[in-house]
Amino acid sequence: MRFDCRAVLPGLLLASGAVAKIPEGSAPPASPDTALITVTAPPLAGRVLAPGVSLAESALIDRQPRTVAEALRGLPGVAVRTNSRGETIVRVRGSEERQTQVFLDGAPLGVPWDGRIDLGLVPAGAITGLSVRKGAVPIEYGTNAVAGVVDLQTRRSGTLFSAQAGTLALYTLSGAAGLDAGPVNLLIAASHQGQDALRVADPAALPFSQDASRRRTNTDGRATSLLLGTGGQIGALTLRASVLHIDAARGIAPESDRDPAINAPRYWRYPAIALTQAQMAAELDIGDATARLTGWRQWFGQTIDAYRTASYTALRSRQVDDDDTLGGRLTLNHGAGPATLRWAVSAQTTDHRQQDTPFPAGAPGPLLLYRQTMVSAGLEADVPLGAATDLTLGAGWDRSANPLTGDKPGQPARSAATFTAALRHALDEDFTLSLAAGRRNRFPSARELFGEALGRFLANPDLGPEQAWLADAELAWRTPGLRLAINPWANHTTGSIGQRVVRVGGQTLRQRFNQAPATSLGLDLLVQWKLAPDFSAELTGSVQRARTEDGTPLLQRPAHEVMLAIDWAPADVIDIRAEVRRIGPVQDLDAAGALTRLPGATEINLRARLPITRIAGARLAATAAIDNLADALILPQSGLPAPGRTIRVGLIVTS
């Protein structure tokens, strides 16, 4: 890994990130106490966006998440799971994880080589809000935002310190403080977490590569993060800069539905994972126009050790990755008669260096260099159609190129058009109807094109891009004590990238390929009801049906996910939150590549916060959390069940 702390300063000078403002009285679709969210595509007055949902800091405190991944669980149309590489990823409306993009203060956070980010490594204590936008998202998000986006907002003010310990030596220490020092805002946040193992809910579901204990094989891990930020305003110019660094190591659970004598699972460990991202923001008001310059510099490195057996003693091979990414985005917003125009252009380039070493020989293979560049440009127009109706239209162009392809065949550059349309009509002051539609593009990541995953995958350099046609309707009703949002949606995707099992020289491998056109139909629901001053209920859910044109079900998409949550919080006495979440059955591939149906499950989670005292204006409270209270077997995918019952207790200080 080539990261050097001295590189942060020039990286910041080369990078900038969006500082998006929300006008007074306006907010994204969210709970009634939503805080202002710094997003890539701000919901400006007169602008119509695809459906979304967000969480403010108070909701995050109630949920007691350790990571951003845990904070996203239970949101309508949003699923979180851990994949076979041990990464905790987010999937909007059952989509593949690479179809959902994640942004931190306006800059993309995903690792471009892989096209995704492990949100299980991003600490929740560093953020004070998050927003999820679903469907045909605006052009500012650039390429690859096919299903939706997650925008994360870092802290601007206040403090939060927490400590928790729990099942199988689980622990978390985190702290964050934002403060104003004259005209300058400062942020510092740090976190350290770890565990010895995840708990097994049902040992009978793990016939291979698992001993008789309740400690899931090879699921220890630790992660340390540091986030520094600063910002301020000089006249009409607003600036903000931040640096996030994550250092981690972990094992990943082997797929325990596979007989090692026939089809060995991954016996992998990550002895080193490091991500550093620097970003800077600049926003300038020029008359009736606003320019926002967004840029980022990311360094990412990891080492993957592959072992021969579940004893994790004999190395089979080692892969060392080293990535360097530089990108930027410029948007210009200005009036044009009754309309508002918004121009956007973004570009990003990534170099990926990789070296594989087989064992026991231990002789490093060649150092391979891959490069991928992405460019996106477009125009949006906000058009008022009367006192109660607004229309936003957008059109753009995306391009992807792979000028360096390691030891693989060269690739042609690919490009495609994108467009969106969104209409909002206020039926009355509490009731709104919104319609949105468009087409978005996703180009294969370099790893999908060229990666072999230490001999597990057969590369397919002929992979083509995905194109998704998206349509949404949303009825939203909002009063002081009740919020209701009903959102039917439809996605039709051509070229969707899936996986198949192939036999090569007697060896079973997986290969990515462009599937037949597929259609997904679904409904997202959100109901929030204030039943009493200290008692509220929340019902969120999603149902969907996803099939290719020949009737084949799309994999790892639950037929439904529904959560009922009840929150009881008598003032300064206690805050108790109870969640019941039902996850429907899913289709997946078994070890031989045949379709298999995985059963649904019910998960019960409890949260409690007990105020203890106040210290110099800060509130000290005891916390407790139980995940999967009933130790239910939850199977989001074959051979990789979700953790069993986990208990955490701790302390939290907020101000």
Is 245 a residue whose pLDDT tops 90?
yes
Name the least confident of 231-245, 330-344, 529-543. Answer: 231-245
What's the pLDDT band for 16 if we cut at 50, 70, 90?
A: very low
Q: Structure tokens of 5?
A: 């702390």
Domains of the chain by start residue, with CATH: 5-654 (2.40.170.20)
What's the pLDDT band for 591 if we cut at 50, 70, 90?
A: confident
Ramachandran sector of residue 528 (left: φ over 0; alpha: ψ -120 to 50; beta: rest):
beta
How far does the chain reach from its first CA to its final CA, in angstroms? 38
How high is the pLDDT of residue 271?
A: 98
Question: Is the Cα torsion angle 113, 118, 124, 125 positive or negative in sign?
Answer: negative
Task: Report which of 186, 284, 279, 281 is spatially closest to residue 234, judged by C-alpha positions.
Answer: 284
How far is residue 385's CA from residue 15's CA, in Å, rounded to a whole number?
A: 38
Is 538 a residue whose pLDDT tops 60?
yes
Mean pLDDT for 465-469 is 94
Is 38 a residue whose pLDDT tops 50?
no
C-alpha to C-alpha distances, 430 to 105, 435, 474, 478, nearest whole angstrom: 30, 17, 14, 5
For 70, the 3-state DSSP assignment is helix
Summarize pLDDT for 494-522 with one digit per residue, the tens: 988 888 878 777 777 878 888 899 999 99
What's the pLDDT band for 94 if we cut at 50, 70, 90?
A: confident
The answer to whether 74 touches 581, Cβ cutoff 8 Å, is yes
How high is the pLDDT of residue 32?
A: 29
How high is the pLDDT of residue 409?
A: 87
The answer to whether 413 touches 425, Cβ cutoff 8 Å, is no
Mean pLDDT for 473-479 is 95
Q: Structure tokens of 27?
A: 């907010």
The alpha carbon of residue 394 and the mean position of all alpha carbons in its chain are separated, in whole angstroms, by 25
The answer to whether 78 touches 69, Cβ cutoff 8 Å, is no
How high is the pLDDT of residue 39?
A: 58
For 141, the 3-state DSSP assignment is helix
DSSP state letter for 124: G
Q: In a 10 Å sphere around its CB, with 0-12 CB exposed, 13-18 middle and 19+ buried, how is residue 10 labelled?
A: exposed
Amino acid in position 516 = A
Vertex 554: Cα angle to 476 and 304 (nearest 5): 105
Summarize pLDDT for 345-366 with one digit per residue, the tens: 999 999 999 999 999 999 999 9
> Percentage of the chain with pLDDT > 70?
94
The partner residues of 195 in beta bridges, in order of sequence, read 221
How high is the pLDDT of residue 420?
A: 96
Task: Report which of 66, 72, 62 is spatially closest to residue 148, judged by C-alpha positions.
Answer: 72
How far is residue 174's CA from residue 121's CA, in Å, rounded to a whole number?
A: 13
How high is the pLDDT of residue 126?
A: 83
The answer to whether 120 touches 87, Cβ cutoff 8 Å, is yes
What's the pLDDT band for 27 if we cut at 50, 70, 90?
A: very low
How high is the pLDDT of residue 298?
A: 98
Summarize pLDDT for 121-132 with one digit per residue, the tens: 999 988 888 999
Backbone angles phi, psi at 46, to 5 degrees: 85, -5
What's the pLDDT band for 140 if we cut at 50, 70, 90?
A: very high
What's the pLDDT band for 183 if we cut at 50, 70, 90?
A: confident
Is 376 a residue whose pLDDT tops 70?
yes
Name the least confident of 43-47, 264-268, 618-622. Answer: 43-47
The partner residues of 368 in beta bridges, in order of sequence, read 354
How high is the pLDDT of residue 457?
A: 81
C-alpha to C-alpha distances, 647 to 80, 217, 587, 623, nearest whole angstrom: 20, 19, 30, 11
Question: Is the Cα torsion angle 538, 652, 176, 191 positive or negative in sign?
Answer: negative
Higher pLDDT, 197 or 262: 197
Mean pLDDT for 581-595 is 89
Is 556 a residue whose pLDDT tops 60?
yes
Q: Structure tokens of 539?
A: 């019902």
Mean pLDDT for 428-446 is 94
**Mean pLDDT, rounded, of the chain:** 89
Is 6 a residue whose pLDDT tops 70?
no
How high is the pLDDT of residue 15?
A: 30
Amino acid in position 562 = V
